């Protein structure tokens, strides 16, 4: 358990060190701080969205040590010492991730509120299974609700990204 | 006889530089990097957090509101109730403004707005909310139209005796006469349920004051209506209200009403002198409602032996919930557009919208249409079956044709529903499948369509419906399009930028669009009634052409044709020039050219800023009967959808396995975005047909106000989708465009329901078609067969 201090009102604040998108942050948080709020409020990384706050919609999906989690269901103190990747961390050195490129090409997001969550679920999928079938893609994003797109362009874009990855490897 | 002019296959050989192409969305980089800001992502220094205080009774008199304990809590900044704010009534239907900022004296549904509170942080806010005590005198409540209509039922509003909020009785032609001539008459009654929009982003609103002016950032579908209503409610000048709409996490009609959040944020920030952010959680979105009305629909139709419709009588009862909102329009829409779809002369339409003690209903994608389309398309299938006609053939026979006028006064120009039906039949393999699929598998068809923008503003005004302005940078290397058209995800920013590029003859990549800010941009009524592409499109096209006119005039002074060029001597006229993709050239001699940028710079030096202006007003539309304005539009889309389903005969579980949509959408500016609209419409429509329904308990509390128990279709639920268009040209649209976004939702419920009927042989007359209902219907049918057999 992380170290804590107790303030005048008797409220505990825990010292956590969390690596987010490769940067180490050390902060004091309350025991009830949720990862989604930590990212959005404390680090101002608002790319991660919040909608249901009950683990039902996937809008808040981030990677925790490479695995997708609903950050509205994760206590910040439980992430002490671990690594988080958010949508802001997908591109590196000014270069978009292949998934982002394919989302652009297919006009996959419409309103885009679900897009960061879907990107992170798809990223996790391609990391563990670089060559997924259409059904595997659908399963991987089944926890991400989207009301605008019927998922059609999303699924195509993710399959395309996987294919492009393979080509790059083969080529 | 004059040859009828056809708008079919009009665009086949046209190639444009920037329209008719799937260009990259203007907002896409913001949306895939997480950089784009939605309202909830915004923060202002010294910002407070606010919540509405909501009723915990469905129908009650407010005796006392005790906020004293909450006020004592450190961090609470302000608590307001009806006594602290103007008592003016507002809404979206001017004839029925019946909402106040906070309830005065009485609450009308569980979740009704009693007051608002703001505090320094969310935690304090929730603690304080628990300390507020409201004392009620509970009144008997009504939760269904049937209860509301009962003799001696409790009255929810003094102004709606018998709880009837809207009553419509219209007749066109002579129904009684047609009844005598009909070969066959059939009546069916079906029910559509109450649903929610299901957008993922909950409403959020932030307001702050600077002197006499207030600025509101809101997740809203119309900057103009929000500005208009806030000014009206707070007795301010419209010019003192600035509305900014950040990115919007979709709306589907649910972000069109002035929500309690907007008004409360304005009031609280005035009192505290600090920015106030108000927000709903997901369950509160359900309570805020304004979604699809539950409807009870009865159709009686008479046809000839061949299946030609002679008359239709439709009687529709709507469960309105507690307030009117857009409900008057919903009620008219429920009946008005049937005449656009099918061509018949005699029509009677009666409707009753009741107020009940449930969250108010309003507009949801396809406003007023999807349920009546579901009911009528089911009804039409039964008529076809009774007469031994193929469901598609009866639709082909009755489909309205182009260049006609409906009995209720709508002028229909391009309209190719028949062609859509034929194309859908052919691509779906209908002929090989209909009647030949094994038990448990079925195929169904549904027709639909929508207005392309409402003919009239929601309130009475002579304002144009859309204004656009294009400003070219001083050195001509960039241009900005200004319009308050609202992109809620459908892609209007992109489509309008494409249109600007095409009209100006200027590169798409060098144009940005400035929208959704009443101070910075220009008037447009916003995103509802599928209006942006046509209405804002006209304004943008005209603004672009205005820029081009100025550029050509300036270029004519700068370009010279070589004397020995064989063309001619002397100065050129603008008519001899053309501008495309940023190059101005002599039409007869394209080698003589100059860049747009050079010309624009010269224009700037001589005249100052280069601006193009565009304007759109649809003019006077429609007949003179009561309610004639609702349903008028410059253009009507049409669509045919076919669905193939598989029903598990043991469990009643339905899986949609294939869907086909053929849309008559006029000229398509961006095919990828159009298909995206169709895909989304299918997913919403499939959910609404099979699972979705808002459920209440006996106190009027929502039981499934979350995404676990109110299930939206997931990626695993979506079938194969094919989306196609009929190539048509709408004379009332810029470059021939019409709508797609809402029209595409209107046939889905009907076609899926017809496919389920085809699969199981029993009609379930109430949506959604849950496994339980299907299972029971199958058991009943079996029971009936056994009994009959004995
Ligand atoms: S906000 Fe976390 S799952 Fe919905
Ligand atoms: S794009 Fe709007 S919710 Fe997915």
In this prediction, residue B3 carries a pLDDT of 46
In this prediction, residue B560 carries a pLDDT of 82
Ligand 1 atom at minimal distance to the Cα of residue A56: 3
Q: Which of A50, A57, A104 sits opposite B707 (nearest CB)?
A: A57
Ligand 2 atom at minimal distance to the Cα of residue A147: 3
Whether residue A148 and residue B43 make contact (CB cut-off 8 A), yes or no, is: no
Query: Chain A window 87-106: which residues touch B at a Cβ cutoff of 8 Å?
Result: 87-88, 90-91, 96, 100, 103-104, 106
Residues A123 and A54 in one domain: no
* Percentage of chain B modeled with pLDDT above 90: 94
Tokens 């001699």 locate to B589
Residues A102 and A143 in one domain: yes
Distance from CA of B638 to the nearest CA of A (A): 20
CA distance B324 to B290: 9
Ligand 1 atom at minimal distance to the Cα of residue A71: 2
Helical H runs in B535-617? 537-558, 596-607
For residue A161 and ligand 2, the question of a CB distance below 6 A is answered with: no
Residues A81 and A126 in one domain: no
Residues A71 and A10 in one domain: yes
CA distance A17 to A29: 10
pLDDT at A65 > cutoff 80: yes
Residues A15 and A81 in one domain: yes
B1 falls in which pLDDT band (50, 70, 90)? Answer: very low
pLDDT at B2 > cutoff 50: no
Q: Which of B32, B40, B41 sits opposite A104 (nearest CB)?
A: B32
B566 falls in which pLDDT band (50, 70, 90)? Answer: low
Tokens 């942006």 locate to B532
* Pair of tokens at residue A121: 């679920």
Q: Give the ligand whose atoms come closest to the C-alpha of residue A111.
A: 2
ipTM over 0.90: yes
* B68-92: average pLDDT: 97
Domain count, chain A: 2
Query: Chain A window 19-58: which residues touch B at a Cβ cutoff of 8 Å?
Result: 40, 44-54, 56-57
* Percentage of chain B modeled with pLDDT above 70: 97
* A101-118: average pLDDT: 98
pLDDT at B49 > cutoff 50: yes
pLDDT at B483 > cutoff 80: yes
Give the residue from A41, A61, A89 where a domain finishes.
A89
The count of other CB atoms within 10 Å of the CB of residue B580 is 18
pLDDT digits (tens, 9 = 90+) for A48-58: 999 999 999 99
Whether residue A112 and residue B36 make contact (CB cut-off 8 A), yes or no, is: yes
Domains of chain B: 456-616 (3.30.365.10)
In this prediction, residue B568 carries a pLDDT of 57
Contacts of B684 in chain A (CB under 8 A): 147
> Which residue is closest in CA terms to ligand 1's atom 3?
A55
Residue A72 touches chain B, beta carbons under 8 Å: no
Whether residue B41 and residue A96 make contact (CB cut-off 8 A), yes or no, is: no
For residue A146 and ligand 2, the question of a CB distance below 6 A is answered with: yes
Ligand 2 atom at minimal distance to the Cα of residue A109: 1
Q: How many CB pairs under 8 A join A and B?
A: 165
Contacts of A59 in chain B (CB under 8 A): 200
Q: How far is the CA of B33 from the centre of ligand 2 (A)?
A: 15
pTM of the complete model: 0.97
* B652-674: average pLDDT: 97
B289 falls in which pLDDT band (50, 70, 90)? Answer: confident
Residues A10 and A85 in one domain: yes
Residues A76 and A109 in one domain: no
Lowest mean pLDDT, pick from B95-99, B215-219, B509-513: B95-99
Tell me the C-alpha to C-alpha distance, in Å, between residue B301 and each of B185, B384, B624: 6, 12, 26
Contacts of A52 in chain B (CB under 8 A): 282, 706-707
In this prediction, residue B386 carries a pLDDT of 98
* Beta strands in B539-674, from DSSP E residues, in sequence order: 577-580, 583-586, 589-595, 610-616, 638-647, 654-664
Residues A78 and A112 in one domain: no
pLDDT at B600 > cutoff 80: yes
pLDDT at B217 > cutoff 70: yes
CA distance B547 to B603: 11
Mean pLDDT of chain B: 96
In this prediction, residue B570 carries a pLDDT of 57
pLDDT digits (tens, 9 = 90+) for B94-153: 889 999 999 999 999 999 999 999 999 999 999 999 999 999 999 999 999 999 999 999
pLDDT at B515 > cutoff 80: yes
Using CA of residue B656, residue B662, residue B663, residue B669, what is the dihedral sign? Answer: positive
Tell me the C-alpha to C-alpha distance, in Å, between residue B487 and each of B166, B202, B365, B451: 32, 17, 15, 18
Q: How far is the CA of B41 from the centre of ligand 1 (A)?
A: 15
String of b and e for B131-150 (b: at least 16 CB within 10 Å)? Answer: bbebebeebebbbbbebbee
Give the residue from A51, A67, A89 where a domain finishes.
A89
Q: Rg of the Cα trace of chain A?
A: 17
Residues A11 and A41 in one domain: yes
Whether residue B33 and residue A40 make contact (CB cut-off 8 A), yes or no, is: no
Distance from CA of A142 to the nearest CA of B (A): 5
Which residue of A38, A47, A70 sits with most ligand 1 atoms within 8 Å of its CB, as the best mutation to test the pocket?
A70
* B344-373: average pLDDT: 98
What's the CATH code of the domain at A48?
Answer: 3.10.20.30
Q: In chain A, helix, strand, coil percent, each to 5?
A: 40, 20, 40
DSSP for B376-425, please give it. Answer: HHHHHHHHHHHHT--HHHHHHHHB--SSEE-TTS-EE-S--HHHHHHHHH
Ligand 2 atom at minimal distance to the Cα of residue B489: 2
pLDDT at A171 > cutoff 80: no
> Which residue is closest in CA terms to ligand 2's atom 3?
A146
Which range marks the domain in which residue A165 is found?
A: 98-170
Which residue of A51, A116, A120, A143 sits with most ligand 1 atoms within 8 Å of its CB, as the best mutation to test the pocket?
A51
Whether residue B721 and residue A150 make contact (CB cut-off 8 A), yes or no, is: yes
What's the CATH code of the domain at A147?
Answer: 1.10.150.120
B11 falls in which pLDDT band (50, 70, 90)? Answer: low
Residues A66 and A115 in one domain: no
Mean pLDDT of chain A: 96
In this prediction, residue B457 carries a pLDDT of 96
Give the residue from A89, A107, A133 where a domain finishes.
A89
Residues A61 and A120 in one domain: no
Residues A12 and A83 in one domain: yes
């Amino acid at each position: 358990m992380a170290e804590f201090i107790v303030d005048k009102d008797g409220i505990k604040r825990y010292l956590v060190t969390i690596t987010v998108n490769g940067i180490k942050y050390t902060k004091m948080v309350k025991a009830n701080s949720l990862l989604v709020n930590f990212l959005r409020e404390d680090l101002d990384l608002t790319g991660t969205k919040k909608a249901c706050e009950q683990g039902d919609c996937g809008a808040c999906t981030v990677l925790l040590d490479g695995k997708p989690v609903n950050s509205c269901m994760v206590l910040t103190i439980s992430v002490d010492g671990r690594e988080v990747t958010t949508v802001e961390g997908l591109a590196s050195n000014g270069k978009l991730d292949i998934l982002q490129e394919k989302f652009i090409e297919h006009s996959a997001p419409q309103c885009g509120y679900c897009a960061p969550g879907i990107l992170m679920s798809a990223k996790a999928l391609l990391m563990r299974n670089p060559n997924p079938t259409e059904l595997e893609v659908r399963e991987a994003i089944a926890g991400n609700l989207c009301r605008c797109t019927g998922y059609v362009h999303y699924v195509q874009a993710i399959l395309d990204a996987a294919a492009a990855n393979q080509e790059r490897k083969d080529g | 006889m004059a040859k009828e002019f056809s708008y079919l296959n009009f665009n086949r050989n046209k190639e444009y530089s920037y329209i008719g192409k799937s260009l990259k969305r203007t907002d896409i980089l913001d949306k895939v990097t997480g950089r784009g800001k939605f309202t909830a992502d915004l923060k202002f220094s010294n910002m407070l957090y606010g919540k509405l205080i909501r009723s915990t009774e469905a129908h009650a008199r407010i005796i006392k509101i005790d906020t004293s304990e909450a006020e004592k809590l450190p961090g609470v900044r302000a608590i307001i109730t009806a006594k602290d704010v103007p008592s003016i009534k507002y809404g979206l239907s001017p004839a029925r403004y019946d909402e106040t900022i906070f309830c005065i004296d009485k609450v009308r549904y569980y979740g009704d707005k009693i007051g608002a509170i703001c505090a320094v942080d969310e935690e304090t806010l929730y603690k304080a909310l628990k300390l507020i005590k409201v004392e009620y005198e509970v009144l008997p409540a009504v939760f269904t139209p049937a209860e509301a209509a009962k003799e001696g039922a409790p009255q929810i509003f003094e102004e709606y005796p018998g709880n009837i909020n809207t009553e419509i009785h219209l007749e066109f032609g002579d129904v009684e006469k047609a009844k005598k001539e009909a070969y066959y008459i059939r009546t069916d009654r079906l029910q559509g349920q109450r649903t929610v929009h299901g957008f993922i982003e909950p409403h959020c609103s932030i307001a702050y004051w600077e002197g006499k002016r207030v600025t509101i950032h809101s997740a809203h579908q119309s900057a103009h209506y929000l500005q208009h209503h806030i000014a009206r409610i707070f007795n301010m000048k419209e010019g003192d209200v600035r509305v900014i709409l950040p990115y919007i996490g979709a709306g589907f009609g649910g972000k069109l009403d002035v929500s309690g959040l907007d008004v409360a944020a304005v009031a609280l920030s005035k009192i505290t002198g600090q920015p106030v952010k108000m927000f709903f959680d997901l369950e509160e979105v359900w309570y805020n409602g304004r979604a699809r009305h539950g409807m009870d629909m009865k159709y009686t139709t008479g046809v000839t032996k061949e299946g030609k419709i002679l008359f239709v009588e439709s009687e529709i009862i709507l469960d309105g919930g507690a307030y009117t909102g857009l409900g008057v329009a919903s009620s008219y829409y429920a009946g008005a557009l049937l005449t656009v779809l099918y061509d018949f002369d005699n029509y009677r339409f009666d409707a009753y919208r009741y107020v009940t003690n449930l969250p108010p209903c309003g507009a949801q994608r396809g406003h007023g249409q999807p349920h009546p389309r579901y009911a009528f398309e089911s009804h039409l299938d039964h008529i076809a079956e009774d007469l031994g006609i193929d469901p598609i053939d009866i639709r082909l026979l009755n489909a309205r044709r182009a260049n006609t006028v409906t009995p209720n006064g709508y002028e229909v120009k391009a309209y190719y529903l028949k062609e859509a039906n034929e194309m859908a039949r052919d691509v779906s393999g209908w002929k090989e499948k209909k009647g030949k699929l094994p038990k448990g598998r079925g195929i169904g068809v549904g027709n639909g369509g929508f207005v392309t923008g409402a003919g009239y503003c929601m309130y009475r005004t002579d304002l144009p419906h859309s204004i656009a302005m294009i400003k070219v940078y001083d050195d001509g290397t960039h241009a900005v399009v200004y319009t308050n058209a609202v992109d809620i995800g459908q892609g209007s920013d992109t489509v309008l930028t494409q249109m600007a590029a095409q009209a100006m003859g200027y590169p798409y990549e060098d144009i940005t669009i400035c929208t959704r800010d009443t101070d910075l941009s220009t008037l447009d009524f916003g995103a509802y009634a599928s209006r942006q592409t046509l209405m804002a499109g006209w304004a943008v096209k005209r603004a672009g052409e205005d820029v081009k006119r100025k550029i050509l005039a300036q270029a004519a002074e700068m370009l010279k044709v070589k004397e020995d060029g064989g063309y001619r001597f002397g100065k050129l006229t603008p008519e001899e020039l053309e501008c495309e993709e940023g190059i101005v050239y002599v039409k007869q001699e394209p080698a003589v050219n100059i860049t747009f940028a050079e010309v624009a710079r010269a224009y700037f030096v001589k005249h100052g800023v280069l601006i193009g202006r565009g304007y759109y007003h649809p003019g006077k539309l429609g007949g003179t009967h009561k309610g004639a304005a609702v349903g008028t539009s410059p253009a009507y889309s049409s669509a045919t959808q076919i669905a193939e389903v598989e029903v598990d005969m043991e469990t009643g579980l339905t899986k949609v396995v294939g869907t086909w949509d053929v849309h008559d959408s006029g000229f398509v500016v961006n095919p990828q975005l159009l298909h995206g609209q169709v895909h989304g419409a299918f997913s919403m429509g499939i959910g609404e047909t099979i699972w979705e329904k808002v459920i209440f308990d006996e106190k009027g509390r929502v039981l499934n106000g979350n995404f676990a128990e109110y299930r939206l279709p997931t990626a695993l639920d979506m079938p194969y989708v094919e989306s196609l268009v009929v190539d048509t040209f709408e004379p009332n649209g810029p470059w021939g465009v019409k709508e797609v976004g809402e029209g595409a939702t209107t046939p889905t419920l009907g076609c899926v329901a017809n496919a389920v009927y085809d699969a199981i042989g029993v009609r379930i007359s109430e949506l959604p078609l849950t496994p339980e209902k299907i299972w029971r219907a199958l058991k009943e049918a079996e029971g009936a067969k056994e009994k009959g057999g004995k």
